[in-house]
Amino acid sequence: LGKDYIKKYPDYINSVTLEDIKRVAQKYLTSQNYTLVITGRQDLISSKEMEGN
């Protein structure tokens, strides 16, 4: 990583664009490879939300 990695880390993070995030999300976040977890009181969650609709 180099001796100056910690110093440059904020620049690396700030260089990430919205387009970068969208591109990676489209590649990796597909309906075939994710699990949705809903937490909270079941009586406050609608049945449609429980079914994933």
Per-domain residue ranges of the chain: 5-51
CA angle 22, 53, 33 (to 5 degrees): 45
Per-residue pLDDT, 42: 83
**Is the pTM value of this prediction over 0.75?**
no
Per-residue pLDDT, 13: 97
Reading the chain (53 residues) residue by residue, the pLDDT tens digits are 899 999 999 999 999 999 999 999 999 888 888 788 878 888 887 776 666 65
- Show the tokens assigned to 15: 């260089």
Per-residue pLDDT, 49: 63
